[in-house]
Copies of this chain bind each other. A is one copy, B any other.
Amino acid sequence: MEYIDVPYTACFKETVAALDEPGCLLVTQGNEGYLNAMVIGWGTIGAIWNKAIFIVMVRPSRFTYQLLEEGSAFTVCVPAPDMRPIIDVCGSKSGRSHDKFRELNLSTVPSTQISVPGIAGSSVIYECQPVHFNDLQPEALTAQIQERFYPQGDFHRVYFGEILAVRALAGQAQQT
């Protein structure tokens, strides 16, 4: 399985489509090397501070939040169609009680710019180093969003990840 470097804008449509359905995989790593993957459905990509930025949002209740707070970098992995079973497990179990990489026998792809790897077979892998975070301000959310997504609070922390590399599976790179 060969990956090639692509511009950070190259796979935007594919990435946004995957966020919507079935979700992308956000991979983080604990200090002892323990890997975790959660499913994310939201994110934005663009340029801030003259850097390519991938914004992801994680609720404080998540195990991924703990790893990010401990200083983990992260990859965002766009799943290939055959990775649906991985999405199902990663979206329903917590890394606190399940070693998802071991249970799913996931192979990793070493990253080129960060220590956290991607998941082998992903069609696109974004390598991201957090450069900022801030928090949603409940009083500045519309009532509709509050009611629909935050009935119990647990407001997302917003992580701004500098995209240091984007790698696409050779032969599948969408050059649009």
Interface residues of A (CB under 8 A from B): 9, 12-13, 16-17, 19-20, 41-50, 53, 55, 57, 131-137, 140-142, 145, 148-149, 158, 176
Contact of A46 among B9, B45, B48, B149 (CB under 8 A): B45
A165–B145 Cα distance when bound, in Å, is 19
Ordered by A's residue number, 19 sampled pairs between the chains whose C-beta atoms are within 8 Å are A9-B12, A12-B13, A13-B176, A16-B46, A42-B49, A44-B44, A44-B45, A44-B46, A44-B48, A48-B57, A49-B148, A49-B149, A132-B136, A132-B142, A133-B137, A133-B140, A134-B137, A134-B140, A134-B158
Contacts of A141 in B (CB 8 A): 131-132
Contacts of A20 in B (CB 8 A): 47
- Which 3 A/B pairs are nearest by Cβ-Cβ distance? A44-B46, A44-B44, A176-B176
Add 18 more A-B contacts to A9-B16, A49-B148, A134-B137 (CB < 8 A).
A9-B12, A9-B17, A12-B45, A16-B46, A16-B47, A20-B47, A42-B47, A43-B46, A44-B53, A46-B55, A131-B141, A131-B145, A132-B136, A132-B140, A134-B135, A134-B140, A134-B158, A158-B158
Contacts of A140 in B (CB 8 A): 132-134
Pick the most buried of A19, A140, A176: most chain B CB atoms within 10 A of its CB.
A140
Contacts of A134 in B (CB 8 A): 134-137, 140, 158
